[in-house]
Amino acid sequence: MKLEDMSVLVCDDSMFARKSLCLYIATLGIKNVYEAADGQQAVDQYAEHKPDIVFMDIVMPVITGIDALTKIKEIDPNAKVIMASSVGTQNHLKAAIKAGATDFLQKPISNDQVKQTLENAAKGVI
């Protein structure tokens, strides 16, 4: 798949985190970018759009990113969900892996990390 043909879901309760990530993703030529501001919105948006890849924060209102990941995996066991969180503690890492996260990025996330992740997803490496 070409990078610009991918669809991406960005889930973060921080408008700043969503906007800065979406802005950067747009510069890569990706047009189909969806946003969710809490865990439940993330699940709903995933069910509606079935994006190729998801960037998911952990600490979010309504339901956490880990719970949202679990629900998304129930909808689609092949979903590619990258946890993008400020809290990469051992417990969070274990919980994310157990729930089926594809990868874990510790905030602050660099543009290079985002690009690399998207390119790997486009190539089917992750």
We find the least distance from the C-beta atom of residue 22 to other proteins, in angstroms, to be 9
Q: What is the DSSP string of 10-55?
A: EE-S-HHHHHHHHHHHHHTT--EEEEESSHHHHHHHHHHH--SEEE
User: Which SS3 state, helix, strand or coil, does residue 84 take?
Assistant: strand
Q: Does 115 bind other proteins (CB under 8 A)?
A: no
Q: Does 78 bind other proteins (CB under 8 A)?
A: no
The footprint of other proteins on this chain (CB under 8 A) covers a number of residues equal to 22
54 bridge partner residues: 9, 81
Name every residue whose Cβ is closer than 8 Å to that of residue 44 and which is 6 or more positions away in sequence.
36
Considering the complex, state which of residue 15 and residue 47 has its C-beta at the smaller distance from other proteins.
15
Q: Does 16 bind other proteins (CB under 8 A)?
A: yes
Considering the complex, state which of residue 79 and residue 109 has its C-beta at the smaller distance from other proteins.
109
- Interacting residue ranges for other proteins, rule: CB under 8 A: 13-17, 19-20, 23, 59-61, 85-92, 106-108
